[in-house]
Amino acid sequence: MKSAPDSPSPTDRSGSVAIVASRYNARFTDALVESASATLAKLAPELAVRVVRVPGAFEIPIVVEALASSEDQPLAILALGVIIRGSTAHADLIAESITLSLQDTGVSHLVPVIHEVLLVESAEQAEARTLGDELNRGREAAEAAVAMIEVMASLES
Protein backbone atom coordinates (compact mmCIF):
# COMPACT_ATOMS: atom_id res chain seq x y z
CA MET A 1 0.00 0.00 0.00
CA LYS A 2 1.27 3.46 -0.89
CA SER A 3 1.55 5.97 1.89
CA ALA A 4 1.97 9.71 1.96
CA PRO A 5 5.11 11.28 3.39
CA ASP A 6 5.10 12.24 7.04
CA SER A 7 3.53 15.58 7.85
CA PRO A 8 6.09 18.40 7.64
CA SER A 9 7.14 20.37 10.68
CA PRO A 10 5.19 23.56 11.30
CA THR A 11 6.62 26.68 9.71
CA ASP A 12 6.70 30.26 10.94
CA ARG A 13 7.13 31.72 7.45
CA SER A 14 4.88 34.61 6.57
CA GLY A 15 3.29 35.39 3.24
CA SER A 16 0.31 33.87 1.52
CA VAL A 17 -0.98 30.64 0.07
CA ALA A 18 -3.79 30.40 -2.44
CA ILE A 19 -6.35 27.65 -2.79
CA VAL A 20 -8.11 27.46 -6.15
CA ALA A 21 -11.04 25.07 -5.96
CA SER A 22 -13.84 23.97 -8.20
CA ARG A 23 -17.45 24.45 -7.13
CA TYR A 24 -18.40 21.35 -9.12
CA ASN A 25 -18.92 18.20 -7.01
CA ALA A 26 -19.25 20.61 -4.09
CA ARG A 27 -19.68 18.00 -1.38
CA PHE A 28 -16.20 16.71 -2.12
CA THR A 29 -14.43 19.93 -3.10
CA ASP A 30 -15.79 21.77 -0.07
CA ALA A 31 -14.33 19.02 2.11
CA LEU A 32 -10.96 19.35 0.34
CA VAL A 33 -10.94 23.11 0.96
CA GLU A 34 -11.93 22.71 4.62
CA SER A 35 -9.28 20.08 5.27
CA ALA A 36 -6.55 22.00 3.45
CA SER A 37 -7.44 25.22 5.26
CA ALA A 38 -7.45 23.55 8.68
CA THR A 39 -4.10 21.89 8.00
CA LEU A 40 -2.55 25.15 6.81
CA ALA A 41 -3.84 26.92 9.93
CA LYS A 42 -2.16 24.26 12.07
CA LEU A 43 1.15 23.95 10.17
CA ALA A 44 1.58 27.52 8.92
CA PRO A 45 -0.36 29.91 11.17
CA GLU A 46 1.50 32.98 9.85
CA LEU A 47 0.43 32.37 6.26
CA ALA A 48 -2.62 34.18 4.92
CA VAL A 49 -4.87 31.77 3.00
CA ARG A 50 -6.86 33.05 0.05
CA VAL A 51 -9.57 30.79 -1.37
CA VAL A 52 -10.78 31.37 -4.93
CA ARG A 53 -13.68 29.26 -6.17
CA VAL A 54 -14.22 28.56 -9.88
CA PRO A 55 -17.15 26.88 -11.67
CA GLY A 56 -15.45 23.61 -12.61
CA ALA A 57 -12.12 21.83 -12.72
CA PHE A 58 -11.30 23.06 -16.22
CA GLU A 59 -11.30 26.66 -14.97
CA ILE A 60 -8.73 26.01 -12.23
CA PRO A 61 -5.55 26.43 -14.35
CA ILE A 62 -6.36 29.93 -15.62
CA VAL A 63 -6.84 31.24 -12.08
CA VAL A 64 -3.70 29.43 -10.90
CA GLU A 65 -1.79 31.11 -13.74
CA ALA A 66 -3.23 34.53 -12.85
CA LEU A 67 -2.19 34.12 -9.21
CA ALA A 68 1.26 32.80 -10.09
CA SER A 69 1.94 35.70 -12.43
CA SER A 70 0.54 38.36 -10.09
CA GLU A 71 2.70 40.94 -8.36
CA ASP A 72 1.66 39.46 -5.01
CA GLN A 73 2.59 35.87 -5.92
CA PRO A 74 1.64 33.34 -3.23
CA LEU A 75 4.34 31.10 -1.75
CA ALA A 76 2.31 28.10 -2.96
CA ILE A 77 -0.95 27.44 -4.79
CA LEU A 78 -3.22 24.48 -4.11
CA ALA A 79 -5.44 23.32 -6.97
CA LEU A 80 -8.39 21.33 -5.60
CA GLY A 81 -11.20 19.61 -7.45
CA VAL A 82 -12.93 16.32 -8.13
CA ILE A 83 -13.66 14.87 -11.54
CA ILE A 84 -15.75 11.70 -11.56
CA ARG A 85 -15.10 9.63 -14.66
CA GLY A 86 -18.18 8.99 -16.81
CA SER A 87 -18.84 6.88 -19.87
CA THR A 88 -16.96 9.15 -22.30
CA ALA A 89 -13.36 10.35 -22.56
CA HIS A 90 -14.32 13.86 -21.41
CA ALA A 91 -13.01 13.43 -17.84
CA ASP A 92 -9.68 12.08 -19.05
CA LEU A 93 -9.24 14.97 -21.48
CA ILE A 94 -10.04 17.53 -18.78
CA ALA A 95 -7.73 15.87 -16.25
CA GLU A 96 -4.81 15.68 -18.69
CA SER A 97 -5.24 19.30 -19.72
CA ILE A 98 -5.35 20.44 -16.09
CA THR A 99 -2.26 18.43 -15.19
CA LEU A 100 -0.17 19.85 -18.02
CA SER A 101 -1.36 23.41 -17.38
CA LEU A 102 -0.64 23.27 -13.64
CA GLN A 103 2.81 21.83 -14.21
CA ASP A 104 3.62 24.50 -16.80
CA THR A 105 2.54 27.27 -14.44
CA GLY A 106 4.57 25.98 -11.51
CA VAL A 107 7.71 25.52 -13.57
CA SER A 108 7.48 28.78 -15.50
CA HIS A 109 6.78 30.92 -12.41
CA LEU A 110 8.85 28.89 -9.91
CA VAL A 111 5.94 28.65 -7.51
CA PRO A 112 4.85 25.31 -6.04
CA VAL A 113 1.51 24.31 -7.52
CA ILE A 114 0.03 21.43 -5.58
CA HIS A 115 -2.16 19.35 -7.87
CA GLU A 116 -5.07 17.70 -6.10
CA VAL A 117 -7.63 17.81 -8.86
CA LEU A 118 -8.70 14.22 -8.43
CA LEU A 119 -9.85 12.00 -11.27
CA VAL A 120 -11.83 9.16 -9.71
CA GLU A 121 -14.02 6.34 -10.93
CA SER A 122 -16.91 6.87 -8.54
CA ALA A 123 -18.44 8.95 -5.78
CA GLU A 124 -17.22 6.30 -3.34
CA GLN A 125 -13.62 6.91 -4.40
CA ALA A 126 -14.16 10.65 -4.12
CA GLU A 127 -15.61 10.23 -0.65
CA ALA A 128 -12.64 8.15 0.52
CA ARG A 129 -10.19 10.80 -0.69
CA THR A 130 -12.01 13.89 0.51
CA LEU A 131 -14.17 13.03 3.51
CA GLY A 132 -12.10 10.37 5.20
CA ASP A 133 -9.03 10.74 7.37
CA GLU A 134 -6.82 8.05 5.85
CA LEU A 135 -6.50 9.31 2.25
CA ASN A 136 -7.54 12.93 2.76
CA ARG A 137 -6.12 14.76 -0.24
CA GLY A 138 -6.98 18.21 1.15
CA ARG A 139 -4.74 17.58 4.15
CA GLU A 140 -2.05 16.08 1.93
CA ALA A 141 -2.15 19.08 -0.41
CA ALA A 142 -1.64 21.48 2.50
CA GLU A 143 1.20 19.36 3.88
CA ALA A 144 2.86 19.28 0.46
CA ALA A 145 2.49 23.06 0.16
CA VAL A 146 4.18 23.67 3.52
CA ALA A 147 6.98 21.24 2.65
CA MET A 148 7.53 22.92 -0.73
CA ILE A 149 7.52 26.40 0.79
CA GLU A 150 10.42 25.26 2.98
CA VAL A 151 12.22 23.61 0.04
CA MET A 152 11.92 26.75 -2.08
CA ALA A 153 13.12 28.93 0.83
CA SER A 154 16.15 26.66 1.27
CA LEU A 155 17.09 27.21 -2.37
CA GLU A 156 17.26 30.97 -1.78
CA SER A 157 19.85 30.53 0.99
Q: Which residue out of 90, 93, 110, 132 is catalytically annotated?
A: 90
Map residue 81 onto helix, strand or coil: strand
Phi-psi region of 110 (alpha: psi -120 to 50; beta: other; left: phi over 0): left
* 90 belongs to the catalytic site: yes
Query: Phi and psi at residue 115, in whole multiples of 5°?
Result: -95, 105
Gyration radius from the chain CA atoms: 15
The SS3 assignment for 41 reads helix
> What residues act catalytically?
90
